[in-house]
A and B are shown apart, each in its own frame.
Chain A
Amino acid sequence: MRQLLKVSVARKILRDTTERTALSILPRIVFVMGKGGVGRSTVSAALGTVLASRGEKVLIVEWTIAEAIAPWFGLPPAGTDPCLVAPDLSVMNYRLDTALRQYFADHLGLGLFYRRVIAGTHVQRLIEAAPGIAELLFLGELFWLTTFAKSEVGLHFDRLIVDAPAAGHGASLLELPMAIAAIGASGLLALEVDRVMRMMADTAQTGVLVVTLPEELVIEETLELVPRIHRNLGRQPLAVIVNRSVAGLVSGVEARPAWLDALAAQLSPAACDGLETIYAELAKRARRERELRHALDGATALGTYSLEDQLAFADDVSPRAVIQALSAALTRQLGDAL
């Protein structure tokens, strides 16, 4: 009996269900990675808006304690079930406990096993403390969403955008299947690792977009992250997106342009100091962006794209307005690639 169960479960796991979408050169699952605070969620929401406006059914998958995208669309934070925030655009938030229940009870049909073993406090604690299990189930959930979700629960998405956890955590997501494989797992876990690894190796299924800012420490990290992704995924990231770009605003060539002196004459010393600080910062960001583009030349499949800092260009800088502005910018620049 156990043997039979094993075989049926194994068959289910191994069944080849790879679906291909030929909508664009973007893969089915786009991981959006980058250091915390670079605007990963905003870029994910903007990309989702662009793709949804082209008729794709898009799901943004977040993994965070505080889901932020749905509130930007005026809704309460999204839970573990996909929640529609705009036409054809849904958001969900990953949680380990829900993923475990869905995996064992709903997907594998091992409801009794789930209740007797997995749902126990000690096992839950072991799973929480065990390195990598939460990450593996996260990737497993993405696999499920692009394969079985349609036949099992009638859920279908053309595209997943994964708002990956901040840099260190996000990149370890790509290293994880190998780390688990190294432990020498057998049984269900090994099968799960195997199918997740195949998904990650498939260029039609997965790819990474890196979001960065023209700031010194963020750039340092991006220049480490891009080769790390290349190494772990076995291919280059799709593109790098420089968020809050001001390269089109100031040249940053002059240390102190003449107009600044002219303006300074009309301001109090404190205000003048404030304006100088802001100009110095903008000029520095413009210079850094040029250096970053140079350093990233040839390091990604599609190149480096810039999204303008909305503080400088728009009157309305509410998250919703920023998402709209950024999706327009993405369409302009990445139109062909999308």
Chain B
Amino acid sequence: MTARLHVLLGGGGVGKTTLAAAYALALARGGRVGLLGIDPARRLQGALRLRLPDLEVVVPGTGQLRAALLRPADSLRRWAAEACPDPEQRARLTANPFFLVLADRLASSTDTIAAIRLAEWAERDPALSDLVVDTAPGLNAIEFLARAEKLAAFLEGRLVGGLRWLAAKPRWGPVTWVIRGGARRVLGGLARIVGTRMLLELAEFVSLVQSVLTTMLERLERTRCWLREDSTEILIVTTIREDAAYTARQLAEALRRLGLAPTATIVNRAVPCPLAEELSALGLGQLTREPAAVVRYARAYAAMQSRVVEAVTPLAPMVAIVPAARDLDEDGRLDAFAALGDQLRVALGQGSAPSADFACRLSHINP
């Protein structure tokens, strides 16, 4: 893989989607960049104010940025068409109830399809320089990184062989149960739970989907290697919230268990460091209700910010502090997003030094 991969992970509502869009927009000034949303809730479209299909489209006004939103049903149909040139076979596959369930965007299949989709993107667009990936919130996203191993283990397993054997015998009656044999005994037991019709449908699905699966597995394997390349950035995002910092720690631990290491932790929606000190010197006495409440809130926010920064500092070699952005939902949004992306790049040490107002906290923590 020649393109650099950037994966953003983090708890819900920390601003992953916004930061992924911002980062991609900023990177797109210097090269051909892809942005993939895999969140089933489809927030990326809201952030870009654009309806995104499964296959990447150029984001108007950015030139070099292509964005897509994972729609597992569309991805699967495209891969089926790619692997089954015979229209009749393809029609049977796409009408199979298992295929339909898989395609029905059930949460458990999204992560796998996303991982495959990444490798597909790199294949389709060899000129790509960067691919930014937004992920599902919280620890679900780790599934997306771990899935490759899980799925490959299952597909290569003995049971799949058994299922293919089952599909090859259309006249399949109760006598079969008596036949001994590992996979058969297992299948017999399974049929008691799920019923024979369902098992036959599954068997047909497996046999039809075989060639599709081969390509899928190859792509999964490529994504697995891509994630481990030096150029890959794994970014854990948190915001000024106790629970978001807790999730960040859980994510860092889960990554370590997978043999992956986060590149940086991003603390999003930060306020300038001098705020806490200056506000604490301010008397609340002479203020009316609204300003007093806002000052009180701002003090608590700044205090929470230091706690969060301290908590996430040990998680990765770098902490990137990103200021709270204000103009994201006004007109000219794309500019505001790109400006935020530039701030993120600066905070990640790409380009000029970070602004002193935000860097002070870093030097305070990493003297």
Contacts and interface: CB of A to CB of B under 8 A. Distances in A.
B154 to A, nearest CB: 4
Interface in A257-304: 257, 259-260, 262-263, 266-268, 270-271, 273-275, 277-282
- Measured as residues with beta carbon below 8 angstroms from the partner, the interface class of chain B is 35 or more
Contacts of A260: 291
Interface stretch (B125-133, B165-173, B186-194, B215-223): B186-194
Interface stretch (B24-32, B87-95, B294-302): B294-302
A249 B190 contact: no
B214 to A, nearest CB: 16
Interface stretch (B39-47, B56-64, B335-343): B39-47
A257 B254 contact: no
Interface residues of A, number: 83
Given A125-B159, A217-B17, A190 B195 contact: yes
A37 B142 contact: no
A18 to B, nearest CB: 24
A259 B291 contact: yes
A311 B308 CA distance: 14
A271 B108 contact: no
Contacts of B159: 122-123, 125-126
B153 A268 contact: no
B256 interface: no
Contact of A123 (B40, B104, B190, B198): B190
A271 B139 contact: no
A277 B271 contact: yes
Contact of A259 (B108, B140, B288): B288
B151 to A, nearest CB: 6
Contacts of A263: 282, 287, 291, 295
A36 interface: yes
A125 B153 contact: yes
Q: Which residue, A6, A259, A280, A318, has most C-beta atoms of chain B within 10 A? A: A259
Nearest to A39: B243
A249 B293 contact: yes
A84 B323 CA distance: 41
B279 A271 contact: yes
A217 B47 contact: yes
Nearest to A9: B192
Interface string A180-224: 101111111110000000000000000000000101111011001
Contact of A172 (B47, B107, B158): B107
Binding site of B, secondary structure by majority: helix, strand, loop or mixed? helix
Contacts of A319: 242-243
A116 B17 CA distance: 45
Interface string A2-16: 000010000000000
Nearest to B293: A249
A189 B106 contact: no
B250 A66 contact: yes
Contact of A36 (B107, B137, B297): B137
B13 A36 contact: yes
B365 interface: no
B154 A268 contact: no
Contacts of A167: 40-41
A76 interface: no
Nearest to A2: B192
A279 B294 contact: yes
Interface in B131-162: 136-140, 142, 150-151, 153-154, 157-159
Nearest to B141: A36
A68 interface: yes
B123 interface: no
Contacts of A123: 159, 186, 189-190
Contact of B98 (A36, A118, A183, A213): A183
B166 to A, nearest CB: 13
B100 A311 contact: no
Interface in A47-82: 64-66, 68
B17 A185 contact: no
Interface string A150-176: 000000000000000111110010001
A249 B290 contact: yes
Contact of A282 (B142, B294, B326): B294
Interface in B264-288: 271-275, 277-279, 282, 287-288
A121 B157 CA distance: 9
A37 B41 CA distance: 13
A279 B298 CA distance: 8
A132 B293 contact: no
B12 A36 contact: yes
Interface in B47-82: 47
B62 to A, nearest CB: 20
A37 B14 contact: yes
A152 to B, nearest CB: 20
Nearest to B192: A187
Residue picked from A39, A118, A189, A271, most chain B C-beta under 10 Å: A271
B193 A189 contact: yes
A270 B275 contact: yes
A186 B196 contact: yes
Interface of B: 11-14, 17-18, 39-41, 43, 46-47, 97-98, 100-102, 104-110, 136-140, 142, 150-151, 153-154, 157-159, 183, 185-186, 189-198, 201, 241-244, 246-247, 250, 254, 271-275, 277-279, 282, 287-288, 290-291, 293-298, 300-302, 304, 323-324, 326, 329, 357
6 contacts: A120-B186, A126-B159, A179-B106, A188-B194, A275-B275, A277-B324
Q: Nearest 7 CB-CB pairs, A to B?
A: A36-B12, A37-B12, A186-B195, A37-B13, A36-B137, A168-B40, A117-B189
